[in-house]
A and B are shown apart, each in its own frame.
Chain A
Amino acid sequence: MLEQAYGPMTIRFFILQAHYRSTLDFSNEALQAAEKGFMRLMKAIAQLEALQAGSTSTLDVAELSDRCHLAMEEDMNTAKLIGHLLSGVTQINNVAEGKESITETDLEALKTLYQGYVFTVLGLTLPETDSRSDEITNDLVELILQLRNDAKANRDFNTADRIRDGLSDLGITVKDRKDGADWEIH
C-alpha cells in the first residue's frame, strides 16, 4: 500500500489541503503531490527572506491577505487558504527572477502573512532534514574516516587523533571497533 516513507509535514500538508468537512482519499499519488506542494511552499518562504525590495509593487499583497483571511473565516477552509498561498508563491518566484517587483513595506507585509498562516495557523514547520545534504554529509564523514584509517595503518597516530578530535569538535563522535568505526552526529 505504501510506496515510500512520508514525512510528518507532508502528512499534515496533505490533510490540510482538504477542507475538514470533505472526505479525503489516501493514495501514494496524492501524498507525492502533497510533498511537492509543501516543498514548493517552503522554498518560497526561504526565498522570501532573500528578496530585494524595489520602488514599486506589481503584486497586491493586501488583496492576497484578504483572500487568506476570508478562506479561514469561512468555516476554516484550509484547502482554499493553501490554494491562495500557493498562488502567491508564483509571484514570489517572479520577484526573485526580476519579472515582478515589490516595495519594502509590501515585502514586510508578505513575510508577516506567510509566517502567520503557514507556521502559526497551519502549524507547518520547515522540513527537518534535507536528504541530499544528509547524503553528502554521510559520504564526507566516511571519506574522512577512511583517511584516518589509512593513517593508522601507516602508524601515523598523530594524524589519526587529530582527525578524531577535529570531528569531535564538529559534534561527530567516533567509536573505534575491531572492524572499523562507528560514528554519530549529535
Chain B
Amino acid sequence: MSKRLYIYNTLTRKKEAFDPINPPFVGLYACGPTVYGDAHLGHARQAITFDVLYRYLLFLDYKVRYVRNITDVGHLEDDADEGEDKILVKARLESLEPMEVVQHYMNRYHLNMASLNVLPPSIEPRASGHIIEQQELIVKIMEAGYAYEVNGSVYFDVNAYHEKHPYGQLSGRKIEDLLSNTRALDGQSEKRSPLDFALWKKADPAHIMRWPSRWSEGYPGWHLECSAMSTKYLGMQFDIHGGGMDLLFPHHECEIAQNVAGYGKPSVRYWMHNNMITINGQKMGRSLGNFITLDELFAGDHTRCWNRLMVP
C-alpha cells in the first residue's frame, strides 16, 4: 500500500505531504484531559480523532509512538494565571485528596475510552510525575533570557521572546492585537506584560499541591507539561502534535514559545486540531453548562445486573 498522506498543518494553514523525520518511526503527541470531571462528547471527539490518526498510521505500517498526557496539576480556572487549580477546587468540594480526584476521573476516563474502542496510547505521562523535567525546562528558558522571577514565581517574557522570534504564528494572532484585547495589568500583578504566562507559581498557604524548587514551594504552569513531556518521550524534534481547537491559543502557542526559548528551535513539524462539537449551533463546554457526558449518553445501555423474577 502506498504511504501517501496529506495532513492539514495548522501552522502553515496548508495541506502538506506527511514526511516523517525518521521513517518508519512516527512520534505523535496529543493533549489529554484535565481530570477533574467526567468526559463529555468534546473529549470523545478529540480522543477519537487522534485514535483514528494513530490507527491509520499503524495501518500504513509506520511504527508509531503515541503519547497522550493526563493533566493532574497546574490547570487553573482562568487563562490569565489567576484563579485556582481546577482539581484542587473539586477536591475541596468533595472533601478528597487532590490525587483521589485525579485517580477517580482518570479511571472513569479510561473506562469511557475503552467503551469507545479508543486504543490506549503508547505512553500516558502525568504532569505531577514530571515536575523535575518541567523545572529543568524553566532553567533553560531563564538562562536564554526569556523568563524572569518575581517573589518565587517565574513568568515567560513574551515581549523579550517576540523581539527574536515571532509569537502568535500558530493561532495567527498579532502581538499588538493581543495586547489591545487583553485586560491591562493591575498594580498587584507580578507580570511585566499581560501576555506573559506563568512557568512556575509560588503556592499560597492553602494550596496543597506543591513541590520544592529553587524559586519557591509551588507548582508548574499548565502549558509547561506538554513541552517537557512531549520532548522527553519523542525527542527534541517530533512529527505530529494534536489537540482540540480550543487548545490552539494560548496553550499550544505558549508551548511553541517555550520550546523555542528553551531548546533553541521549534519541536513540532505538523500541528493538527480537531473542531468543536456544538449543540443547536452553540459551542459545547463544561464552562457553558450545556455539555453531555459520555455516561449520560450510554445510560441504560448494556447494563446487565441481577434480574429478578417476582412470584405473583
Contacts and interface: CB of A to CB of B under 8 A. Distances in A.
B52 to A, nearest CB: 6
B55 A20 contact: no
A148 B259 CA distance: 72
Interface string B29-65: 0000000000001001100110111011001000000
B5 interface: yes
Contacts of B273: 21
- The SS class assigned to the A binding surface is mixed
A11 B307 contact: no
B306 A5 contact: no
A125 B302 CA distance: 15
B205 interface: no
Contact of B278 (A26, A76, A138, A184): A26
Interface of A: 1-2, 4-9, 11-12, 15-16, 20-27, 69, 72-76, 78, 116, 120-125, 128-129, 138, 141-142, 145-146, 149, 179-185
Contacts of A26: 41, 277-279, 284, 292
Given A75-B7, A75-B8, A182-B306, A21 B275 contact: yes
19 contacts: A2-B296, A5-B299, A8-B115, A8-B301, A11-B297, A12-B48, A20-B274, A21-B8, A24-B277, A26-B279, A26-B284, A69-B1, A72-B56, A73-B2, A73-B4, A73-B6, A184-B304, A184-B306, A184-B307
A12 B278 contact: no
A179 B59 contact: no
Nearest to B1: A69
Contacts of B300: 4-5
B276 A121 contact: no
A138 B277 CA distance: 38
A20 B310 CA distance: 50
B279 A25 contact: yes
Nearest to B16: A75
A2 B275 CA distance: 22
B298 A75 contact: no
B93 interface: no
B162 to A, nearest CB: 29
A124 to B, nearest CB: 7
B170 to A, nearest CB: 15
A15 B6 contact: no
B206 interface: no
Contacts of A142: 309
Pick from A5, A8, A12, A142 the residue with the most CB of B within 10 Å. Answer: A8
Contact of A122 (B5, B52, B307, B308): B52
A146 B309 contact: yes
A128 B281 CA distance: 32
B301 A16 contact: no
Contact of B119 (A27, A123, A141, A180): A123
Contacts of A21: 8, 273-275
